[in-house]
């Protein structure tokens, strides 16, 4: 990604950050859970957008980020696969991205949003696994049944207990 315009702390009010192609893009630094920080603050490195990876590399990179307590960033990796992968796999990657966003919300203390997205993602990967296009329960080594069970269990827990969960400690094991 090219340099971002308008990233100074004294950026004019109402001005929009733009990438090198002129598209609107928020250049504010982000924390490990993807929350925007003030301009000039130290944030965590952002995931580059639009990276095309082999599916196995997508799973490995997403797992690394999940284990590091950075599910928002793992979601971006899954989103790249969703947008660049073959049509018949888009729902798989979209479901995995929803699971990562659900964990993000749960880690931020948003029990309602976290539970909703965890369940939505669990339903999406379960539905994809049973579709004729999938033909398998462990695409690229991902244990879809195990991941869906993890998501439903965590959704129940965050609804029951509220409060934020530790994203790194509660990260799913994508591969059994």
Asked whether residue 46 is domain-assigned, the answer is: no
Residues with pLDDT less than 50, the chain = 1-10, 12
Q: How many domains does the chain have?
A: 1
Asked whether residue 108 is domain-assigned, the answer is: yes
Structural domain span for residue 84: 55-161
Query: Would the pTM of this model clear 0.75, i.e. be above it?
Result: yes
Asked whether residue 131 is domain-assigned, the answer is: yes
- The predicted pLDDT at position 1 comes to 37
Query: Where residue 64 sits, what CATH number does that domain have?
Result: 1.10.3450.10
CA angle 64, 154, 128 (to 5 degrees): 70
* CB 101, CB 130: distance < 8 Å: no
- The predicted pLDDT at position 8 comes to 45
* CB 107, CB 169: distance < 8 Å: no
Asked whether residue 95 is domain-assigned, the answer is: yes
Asked whether residue 134 is domain-assigned, the answer is: yes
Asked whether residue 34 is domain-assigned, the answer is: no
Asked whether residue 66 is domain-assigned, the answer is: yes
């Amino acid at each position: 990604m090219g340099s971002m315009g308008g990233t100074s702390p004294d950026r004019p009010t109402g001005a929009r950050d733009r990438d090198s192609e002129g598209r609107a893009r928020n250049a504010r630094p982000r924390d490990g859970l993807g929350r925007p920080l003030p301009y000039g603050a130290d944030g965590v490195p952002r995931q580059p957008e639009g990276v095309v990876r082999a599916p196995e590399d997508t799973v490995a990179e997403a797992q690394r980020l999940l284990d590091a307590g950075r599910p928002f960033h793992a979601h971006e990796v899954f989103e790249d696969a969703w947008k660049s992968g073959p049509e018949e796999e888009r729902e798989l990657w979209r479901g995995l991205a929803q699971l990562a966003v659900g964990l993000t919300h749960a880690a931020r203390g948003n029990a309602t949003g976290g539970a909703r997205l965890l369940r939505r993602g669990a339903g999406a990967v379960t539905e994809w696994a049973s579709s004729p296009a999938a033909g398998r329960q462990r695409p690229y080594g991902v244990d879809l049944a195990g991941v869906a069970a993890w998501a439903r269990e965590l959704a129940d827990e965050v609804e029951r207990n509220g409060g934020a969960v530790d994203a790194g400690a509660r990260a799913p094991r994508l591969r059994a």
